[in-house]
Amino acid sequence: MHDFDLEQFRQLYEHAFAPLAIVSESYRNLRPDLELASDELAGPMYSIREDGNCDYVFEDKWRFPGVSDAETFLRWCKSCVGEFRRLVDVVKPTSAEEHSDQAHLLQLADRMEELSALAYRMVKARSSGHVS
């Protein structure tokens, strides 16, 4: 991964995993589940942000079952984001606060997807020997 890409990754990480700014009671009630879903993905992404890789993911078969290469890593990332989105969709907004919270949380999910794509490219490049 080039320094520019890593810097882009770091900036996007800050947006994707910013503290959840939740206003409505409906989403506050979901906060623990949303944070759990977000934290699962945040671990490998934090490792990339700090170390430029998440190699441990491929060694930890208990926490990351089935993740053995860049493609399975991307599928795992997408499943984490999908779980976050499913939780966001549990609430059917009826108030302005709920609509605002939903829009904010879905934007975070979009950033998580973008980050996952960047992480995939980094993992793919490392596995093919283009990056050390």
Is residue 50 exposed (0-12), middle (13-18) or buried (19+ Cβ within 10 Å)? exposed
Domain around 97: 3-127
In tens digits, what is the pLDDT along the chain, a chain of 132 residues? 444 488 889 999 999 998 889 999 999 999 999 999 999 999 999 999 999 899 999 999 999 999 999 999 999 999 999 999 999 999 999 999 999 999 999 999 999 999 999 999 999 988 876 554
Question: pTM for the whole thing?
Answer: 0.90
Looking at residue 53, the DSSP 8-state letter turns out to be -
Residue 66 and residue 58: Cα distance in Å, rounded? Answer: 9
**CATH code of residue 108:** 1.20.120
Residue 46 and residue 65: Cα distance in Å, rounded? Answer: 19
132 belongs to a structural domain = no
Angle, in degrees to the nearest 10, between helices 96-127 and 25-51: 20
* Domain count of the fold of the chain: 1
48 belongs to a structural domain = yes
Residue 119 and residue 37: Cα distance in Å, rounded? Answer: 18
